[in-house]
Amino acid sequence: MNAVPVPVLVQHWYALFLCASGRPDEALQVARRAHTLDPLSLTVQVTVGRCLYFGRRFEEAIGVLRRHLERSPDSIQGYVTLYRSLRLRGMPGEALQELERGINVIGRVPLLLACAGNIHGQLGQRDQALALLEELRLLATRRHVPSAYQAEILFGMGELDETFRVWDLAVKERSGWIPFLRCDPAWDQFRADPRYIALERISGAED
């Protein structure tokens, strides 16, 4: 596969920076400009989907990401962002189907397992969610598994106190998810929660 041209990669990262800064509309303009420059770039295509997700434009994100996965069925970020968009669109069953498809194609990647655990929890399938949580914890004894992945499952199960406790660990690990806390629509209903406010404060995401 040809490497993505440097100017396009720069715009890809700039678009994600704008998302993390709470400027998803500007981010989408940058990502779409990059897509115009290199319409075959799978990296840019999934970035467009991510910008749409952070901009709360879930229907559009779902369409972009499904087309992306048709071309790149082994795209972890494609499945993750599609799951997130379907979940917040009120389609958890379809979100789980997409994640299971990704796991079948790519394997039991910890991030996909975490997302599947979240949906099992949301659907009230507690045993399945706990089994995936235990799988991640066991895997973490042999290799690094970000604490944020465990928090994703706990969040789906509605275990909010434990979710925030584990997120504190993720902050200490400098999780790559931290910069996107402020813009992630999954957290919108918790913005006024004292636990969320404290999390933003210690992570620096409020700056």
Q: Please check whether residue 183 lies inside any domain of the structure.
A: no
How far apart CA 70 and CA 62 sit, in angstroms, is 12
Residues 6+ apart with CB under 8 A from 184: 54
Q: Please check whether residue 36 lies inside any domain of the structure.
A: yes
CATH number of domain containing 10: 1.25.40.10
Could you read off the pLDDT of 95-119 as tens digits, one per residue?
999 999 999 999 999 999 999 999 9
Measured on CA atoms in the order 157, 122, 49, 107, is the torsion positive or negative?
positive
Could you read off the pLDDT of 114-163 as tens digits, one per residue?
999 999 999 999 999 999 999 999 999 999 999 999 999 999 999 999 99
Q: Please check whether residue 161 lies inside any domain of the structure.
A: no
Q: Which amino acid is at 14?
A: Y
Residue 84, pLDDT score: 97
How far apart CA 46 and CA 178 sit, in angstroms, is 20
Q: Please check whether residue 52 lies inside any domain of the structure.
A: yes
Q: Please check whether residue 39 lies inside any domain of the structure.
A: yes
Residue 104's SS3 state is helix
How far apart CA 120 and CA 128 sit, in angstroms, is 6
Residue 131, pLDDT score: 98
Q: Please check whether residue 170 lies inside any domain of the structure.
A: no
Residue 6, pLDDT score: 55
- If one counts the domains in the chain, the total is 1
Q: Please check whether residue 195 lies inside any domain of the structure.
A: no
Q: Please check whether residue 175 lies inside any domain of the structure.
A: no
How far apart CA 187 and CA 155 sit, in angstroms, is 10
Residue 7, pLDDT score: 81
Domain that holds residue 44: 1-75
Structure tokens at 20: 């993390």
Are 7 and 38 contacting, i.e. CB atoms less than 8 angstroms apart?
A: no
Buried b (16+ CB within 10 A) or exposed e, 13-49: ebbbebbbeebbebbbebbbebbeebeebbbbbbbbb
